[in-house]
């Protein structure tokens, strides 16, 4: 028995990468990169987004529905989690369902924006949600290594929206969202992607971390028209490489 245990220990030492708890290795974007967090810059024209793609869930769809970025492409689906966005054939386009990679190949974007995570964070801790986000980044960077990738922080919820979710997701809070957003900054640095802190633009104050009422739809977590307009102004004044 001792010989068997010793042999198993040697195997473990020889193959340390065989670890159920190992983290996903992140690919590095080859697009020009100086720092993760994008500072305010001169506003670009709407045409800047003509060759852009926005990837996400119903929050992203709420922006598309406002028709504020008329020529941009949206790859989004109601209820999409970070994990199934990376791997599953869930995205509707012209009456069919596609994988993310299939639509990216079809659209051939020059800029890629990611706004996703709300559905995953309702049931997952922020640290657990980062792992599938790494996989999502890898799927994108592998096929489009030269395209700048803008990672957008997740907006917090209005308090009444969190209260409504509490019976089903008692552990979900705005602090979980803020912690996830902090982790996005670190991930953006590692992957040489760009971080757009939309969440901070929407928050009421340092003491009240829910978004301002006028920026949110009545449900408390999708963007209103005013919120969508703020989103547009924000991404127009936070770009790189112009």
Per DSSP, helices labelled H in the chain are 2-14, 58-64, 82-87, 100-107, 118-123, 126-143, 159-165, 174-191, 198-202, 225-236
**pLDDT tens digits, one per residue of 25-43:** 999 999 999 999 999 999 9
Q: pTM of the prediction?
A: 0.90
> What's the rounded mean pLDDT across residues 201-224?
95
Distance from the first to the final alpha carbon of the chain: 66
Question: Token pair for residue 102?
Answer: 């299939």
In angstroms, rounded to a whole number, what is the distance separating the alpha carbons of residues 121 and 137? 17
- Residue identified by tokens 């069919």 is 96
Nearest to 33 by CA among 191, 183, 198: 191
Give the number of C-alpha atoms closer than 13 A to the C-alpha of residue 141, restricted to the C-beta side: 23
**pLDDT tens digits, one per residue of 148-202:** 999 999 999 999 999 999 999 999 999 999 999 999 999 999 999 999 999 999 9
Using DSSP, state whether 124 is helix, strand or coil: coil
Percentage of the chain surpassing pLDDT 70? 90
Q: What is the pLDDT of residue 23?
A: 78
In angstroms, rounded to a whole number, what is the distance separating the alpha carbons of residues 146 and 142? 10
Write the secondary structure of 43-109 as one string of H (helix), E (strand) and C (coil). Answer: CCCHHHHCCEEEEECHHHHHHHCCCCCCCCEEEECCCCCHHHHHHCCCEEECCEEECHHHHHHHHCC
Residue 146 has pLDDT above 50, yes or no: yes
Q: What is the pLDDT of residue 22?
A: 54
CB 141 within 8 A of CB 29: yes
């Amino acid at each position: 028995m001792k010989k068997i245990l010793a042999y198993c220990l040697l195997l473990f030492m020889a193959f340390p990468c065989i670890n159920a708890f190992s983290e996903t290795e992140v690919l590095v974007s080859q697009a020009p990169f100086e720092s993760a967090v994008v500072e305010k810059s001169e506003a670009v024209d709407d045409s800047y987004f003509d060759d852009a793609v926005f990837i996400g869930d119903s929050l992203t769809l709420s922006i598309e529905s406002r028709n504020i970025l008329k020529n941009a492409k949206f790859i989004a689906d109601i209820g999409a989690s970070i994990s199934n966005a990376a791997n599953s054939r869930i995205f509707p386009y012209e009456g069919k369902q596609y994988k993310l990679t299939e639509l990216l190949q079809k659209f051939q974007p020059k800029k890629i924006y990611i706004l996703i995570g709300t559905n995953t964070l309702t049931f997952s801790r922020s640290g657990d949600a980062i792992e599938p986000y790494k996989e999502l980044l890898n799927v994108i960077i592998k096929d489009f290594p030269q395209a700048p990738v803008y990672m957008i922080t997740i907006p917090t919820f209005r308090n009444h929206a969190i209260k409504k979710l509490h019976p089903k997701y008692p552990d979900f809070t705005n602090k979980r969202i803020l912690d996830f957003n902090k982790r996005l900054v670190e991930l953006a640095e590692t992957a040489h992607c760009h971080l757009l802190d939309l969440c901070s633009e929407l928050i009421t104050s340092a003491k009240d971390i829910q978004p301002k009422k006028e920026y949110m739809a009545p449900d408390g977590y999708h963007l209103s028209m005013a919120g969508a307009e703020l989103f547009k102004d924000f991404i127009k004044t936070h770009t790189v490489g112009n």
